[in-house]
Amino acid sequence: MSQYKILPLAPVSWQQLQAQAIRSPEQLLRRLQLPASLLAEIENSSLAFSLRVPEPYLQRIEPGNPDDPLLRQILPLAEELHTTKGFSCDPVGDGAARNLPGLLHKYHGRVLIITTGSCGIHCRYCFRRHYPYNDDRLSDDHWQGILGYLREDPNITEVILSGGDPLTLSDQRLQNQLQDLAEIPHLQRLRIHSRQPIVLPQRVNDELLQMLAKSRLQTVLVVHVNHANELDGEVKACMQQLKQAGITLLNQSVLLRGVNDDANSLCELSERLFECGILPYYLHQLDRVVGAAHFEVDELQTRSLMEELRRRLPGYLVPKLVSEQAGAAYKLPLDVSIST
Ligand SMILES: *Cc1c(COP(=O)(O)O)cnc(C)c1O
Ligand code: SF4
Question: Which of 105, 110, 254, when mutated, tests ligand 1's pocket best, judged by the most ligand atoms within 8 Å of its CB?
Answer: 110
Ligand nearest to the CA of 96: 1
- The pLDDT, as a whole number, for residue 193 is 98
For ligand 2, atom 3: residue with the closest CA: 164
User: Given this model, what pLDDT does residue 213 score?
Assistant: 98
Whether 294 is in the pocket of ligand 1, judged by its Cβ within 6 Å, is no
Cα of 238 to ligand 2 centre, how many Å?
Answer: 20
| Contact in structure between 319 and 280 (CB atoms under 8 Å) | yes
The 10 Å CB-count burial string (b at 16+, else e) for 158-184 is: bbbbbbbbbbbbebebbbebbeebeeb
Q: State how far the Cα of 81 lies from the Cα of 45, in Å rounded to an integer.
A: 6
- Ligand number with the minimum distance to the CA of 167: 2
DSSP state letters, 47-64: TTS---B-HHHHTTSPTT
* Cα 89 to middle of ligand 2, angstroms: 15
- Cβ-in-10-Å burial (0-12, 13-18, 19+) of 186 comes to exposed
Q: CA–CA separation, 302 vs 104, rounded Å?
A: 29
Under 8 Å between Cβ of 100 and 146: yes
Among the atoms of ligand 1, which is closest to the Cα of residue 330?
7
Query: In ligand 1, which atom is closest to the CA atom of 111?
Result: 11
Nearest ligand to the CA of 49 is 2
DSSP 110: E
From residue 158, give the alpha-carbon distance in Å to each of 52, 218, 327.
31, 9, 20
Number of the ligand 1 atom closest to the C-alpha atom of 322: 7
Q: Which domains does the chain have, with CATH numbers?
A: 14-81 (no CATH), 98-333 (3.20.20.70)
Residue bearing the CA closest to ligand 1, atom 8? 110
Q: What is the dihedral of CA 330, 331, 332, 338, to 10 degrees?
A: -140
Which residues have CB under 6 Å of ligand 2?
Answer: 119, 121-123, 126, 128, 164-165, 195, 224
* Cα 251 to Cα 30, 92, 224, 270, 318, distances in angstroms: 32, 20, 5, 9, 11
Tell how far the Cα of 192 is from the centroid of ligand 1, in angstroms.
11
Which atom of ligand 1 is least distant from the CA of 331?
7
Please tell me the residue having the least CA distance from ligand 1 atom 1. 331
Tell me what pLDDT residue 68 has.
98
Q: One digit per residue, pLDDT tens: the chain, 340 residues?
A: 555 666 666 678 999 999 999 999 999 999 999 999 999 999 999 998 999 999 999 999 999 999 999 999 999 999 999 988 999 887 776 766 778 999 999 999 999 999 999 999 999 999 878 765 555 679 999 999 999 999 999 999 999 999 999 999 999 999 999 999 999 999 999 999 999 999 999 999 999 999 999 999 999 999 999 999 999 999 999 999 999 999 999 999 999 999 999 999 999 999 999 999 999 999 999 999 999 999 999 999 999 999 999 999 999 999 999 998 889 999 999 866 555 4
Are 277 and 306 a contacting pair, CB within 8 Å?
no
Least distant ligand from the CA of 112:
1
CA distance 302 to 297: 6
Q: Check residue 296 and report its DSSP letter.
A: -
Ligand 1: centre distance to CA 6 (Å)? 51
